[in-house]
Amino acid sequence: MAFSLEQIASHIDGRVIGDTSYVIEKLGTLEHADAQALSFLANPKYQSQLATTQAGAVLIADKALSQGLKNAVLVSNPYLAFAKLTHLFDNRPKPEASIHPSASIDESVVLGKNAKIAANVVLEKGVCLADNVEIGPNSVIGANVKVGENTRIAANVTLYYNVEIGKECLLHSGCVIGADGFGFAPSSEGWVKIMQLAAVTLGNNVEIGANTTIDRGALENTRIGNGVIIDNQVQIAHNVIIGDNSAIAGCSAVAGSTQIGQRCTISGGVGIIGHLTIADDVHVTAMSLVSKSIHKSGSYSSGTGLEATDKWRKTAARLRRIDDMAKHIAKLENKLK
């Protein structure tokens, strides 16, 4: 797998500074790339590495930075250009269209063209797979599930009954889509389960990370919009709605019936309680607790930042006294009045 800088620049609307015929065989970081690799500079933090990099060429945004480099490709957004180039150098094994003899496929299943069904896959009654769908080993596709064209489902994925997956999606290993939502009613004899009567729908171009769970709705579907990306080990509870092109990072959890708008970014370890509404274009920073609705776009944070343990303990002790301090200040204000 090799491309000339001219071919690479054409693919990303870039301009070569140097030898257009120079051949690139791989991608790499500024620090560790060799003469066969193409690297990129997207973060000014790493600009000093331009002087020492051994990369055969570098994606850059500022022509002035090309001085001292063997070759460069000038682009407006190096990180986006790099992302596009990773598709050119994608080394993922691509299976041929086939159905493994160990797969268990109900006679009612509808398979599109070029289906790729790996070993020990289970396709239950009423499953419908569109063209070019790939199902990895040991995955279980429940009754009446619909999967859109060009979607790839990795090994050990479970799709419960009636789930709908859009086109061009990617579901990583271990994710579970459509398990029961956590719905129970208390009674004098214990918890009474609320049957989860709806399902889950995923839009087009959705990516779900490894071991992430998305619960089915109780009465209405849990809905994940087009272009949503969800990282590993994320919990999405029943009846949640996530708007188009939003992103949720690892170990976050969204409680039931919360609605997240379009183009939102939820950083790692965020907790969002149930029945909230989050507006479009909201960014929540890492380890925050969202305990009330957010009606205006912008960046939001909660919690305290890291500091030395002895200083943190003093701060925590003062926090516990805030209520008493507030009452004392109110009394002083009244006296002054």
Q: Which class does domain 3-88 fall in?
A: alpha beta
Q: Which class does domain 98-300 fall in?
A: mainly beta
CA dist., res. 132 & res. 337, Å (int): 76
In this structure, are residues 113 and 99 in contact, taking their beta carbons and an 8 Å threshold? Answer: no
- DSSP letter assigned to residue 294: B
In this structure, are residues 270 and 284 in contact, taking their beta carbons and an 8 Å threshold? Answer: yes
For residue 337, the model assigns a pLDDT of 80
Q: pLDDT tens across 161-197, in order?
A: 999 999 999 999 999 999 999 999 999 999 999 999 9
Share of the chain above pLDDT 70, in %: 100
In this structure, are residues 142 and 178 in contact, taking their beta carbons and an 8 Å threshold? Answer: yes
Q: pLDDT tens across 294-326, in order?
A: 999 999 999 878 899 999 899 888 888 888 888
pLDDT at 131 over 90: yes
The residue to which tokens 């960046």 are assigned: 299
For residue 150, the model assigns a pLDDT of 97
The residue to which tokens 């274009």 are assigned: 281
Sorting pLDDT into bands at 50, 70 and 90, what band is 63? confident
In this structure, are residues 161 and 142 in contact, taking their beta carbons and an 8 Å threshold? Answer: yes
Tell me the pLDDT of the chain averaged across its residues: 95
Catalytic residue IDs = 238
Q: What is the mean pLDDT of residues 58-63?
A: 92
Reduced DSSP (H G I as helix, E B as strand, rest coil) percent helix, strand, coil of the chain, to 5: 15, 30, 55
* Tokens read off for 101: 């003899």
Which residues, at least 6 apart from 177, have a Cβ–Cβ distance to it below 8 Å? 157, 158, 159, 160, 163, 165, 171, 200, 202, 208, 213, 214
CA dist., res. 40 & res. 44, Å (int): 11
Q: pLDDT tens across 2-39, in order?
A: 999 999 999 999 999 999 999 999 999 999 999 999 99
Q: Which helix (H) or strand (E) holds 152?
A: strand 152-153
CA dist., res. 214 & res. 181, Å (int): 9
How far apart, in Å, are the Cα atoms of 298 and each of 242, 267, 280, 287? 17, 14, 9, 17
In this structure, are residues 56 and 31 in contact, taking their beta carbons and an 8 Å threshold? Answer: no
